[in-house]
Amino acid sequence: MTFDFVRRSRAYLPWVAAVAAILLVGFAILSSVTRPAEAAKGGTCSSFTVSTDGRSFSGDQDRTIRASQVGPTIAVRGKYIKFAVRSSDFAVLNYKHTGANSPRADKNLPIDAPTVIFESKVPNHGEKLTSGVSLDLNNEAVVLERSGGGQDMKIQAKDCQQGGLFQMEPEPRTIETNTLGPGFHYTVQPPGQERLCFTNGRFTGYDSPELATLVRHTNKVATWDVRSGGRIGMVIGEDAVEGGCTLR
């Protein structure tokens, strides 16, 4: 009888393993969808228009812009967020909150004029990106990706009043240098956290690392070593306060 039980158990093992594998895959998918716990607040988002070399793209679409149609810069413009991407290396320039109010007054940041949060976010990979640009647009977000010289760069951004609004992902690793805009300064890393807070005295935010290490920072500039598979995100507003950042 004992042998029969063992034999039946062995017969079930492949089924058990298969079910376990399905559960693990489901958990991984759910984790990847929900990972930015610092997601943007509902009801405070709009959509981007992306422009380069005289052509503009908006609405829900997924396409590749041919290399010959990519200009020196890619302009990303939304109701709440605007910035430019330097096509050759995917440096982000003049990342700005427009100051526009959302339909939810309780979620609006204290911004009454266009405000440059970051002068630049520069990936120092030293390569020239030459491929076409992968463009994925939906009703609140954009994903841009380009490669060249063995380097791939991806930018994801949301056009929202506040929350987790931006991340830059290199493959393979690179050094990223972030320079804050006028009136902003870096403050501290909350105890037990790797994130680095910043503020302008009216609202707060933080650089959000994953598989990335802070190399050094000054009052205005932070340098990160971003490993393969890693990224540096950006969070502003309520989520930053909940994450331990203050106005000082």
Q: Stretch 54-79: mean pLDDT, rounded?
A: 98
Q: What angle is formed at CA 230 by the lines to CA 172 and CA 220, rounded to 5 degrees?
A: 105
Instruction: Give the tokens for residue 106.
Output: 């309780």
In the predicted model, is pLDDT for residue 236 greater than 80? yes
The one-letter code for the residue type at 140 is: E
Measured over the CA atoms of residue 231, residue 69, residue 136 and residue 113, the dihedral's sign is positive
Question: What is the pLDDT at residue 98?
Answer: 98
State residue 12 phi and psi, 5-degree precision: -80, -20
The better pLDDT of the pair 9, 182 is held by 182
Mean pLDDT of the chain: 88
In the predicted model, is pLDDT for residue 18 greater than 60? no
Question: What is the pLDDT at residue 35?
Answer: 39
Percent of the chain with pLDDT over 70: 83
Distances (CA, A) of 165 to 9, 129, 132, 219: 50, 24, 24, 22
**Model's pTM, two decimal places?**
0.83
Question: What is the pLDDT at residue 41?
Answer: 53
Pick from 162, 176, 157, 150: nearest CA to 230:
176
**pLDDT, tens digit (0-9, with 9 covering 90-100), for 142-161:** 999 999 999 999 999 999 99
Question: What is the pLDDT at residue 4?
Answer: 41
Antiparallel, parallel or unpaired: β 133-137 and 73-77? unpaired
Question: What is the pLDDT at residue 43?
Answer: 77
Burial zone of 173 (CB within 10 Å; 0-12 exposed, 13-18 middle, 19+ buried):
middle
Question: What is the pLDDT at residue 83?
Answer: 98
Q: How far apart are CA 157 and CA 99, in angstroms?
A: 17
Q: How many CB atoms lie within 10 A of CB 231?
A: 22
